[in-house]
Amino acid sequence: MKLVGSRCNRDAIGGWVKVRLGNQTLFRQVMPTRSYLSQSELPVTIGLGNAQRPDAVTVIWPDGAEEKVEAVRVDSLTTIVQSR
């Protein structure tokens, strides 16, 4: 899942993706670095285990705004643009 900010920073660095799978909630943060002289890619990858699709996906943008995401494709890159 790739986040594109319009009211916050363009790469949505510091934003969170919250995915609900049954009674489990997974959080992943958009963070391009992990430690000194290392780098990670910006798209967020979340494993679904045995689930066919997530029950709910919410993006918490770096500016604090929350946005529910309805159309999430599984096994492909989904780009989410922050609403204005």
Domain count for the chain: 1
Residue 5 lies in a domain: yes
Quote the pTM value.
0.85
The neighbouring-strand residues paired with 59 are 17, 67
Give the pLDDT of residue 36.
78
pLDDT tens string, the chain, 84 residues long: the values are: 899 999 899 999 999 999 999 999 999 999 887 777 777 778 899 999 888 999 999 999 999 999 999 888 888 899 999 988
Asked whether residue 82 is assigned to any structural domain, the reply reads: no
Question: What is the C-alpha separation between 74 and 71, in angstroms, rounded?
Answer: 10
Q: Which residues of 27-40 are buried (b: 16+ CB within 10 A; e: fewer)?
A: eeebeeeeeeeeee
Q: What is the pLDDT of residue 32?
A: 80
Domain membership of residue 21 (yes or no) is yes
Domain residues for 33? 1-77
In-domain check, residue 83: no
Q: Has residue 37 been placed in a domain? A: yes
Determine, yes or no, domain membership for 71.
Answer: yes
Residue 43 lies in a domain: yes
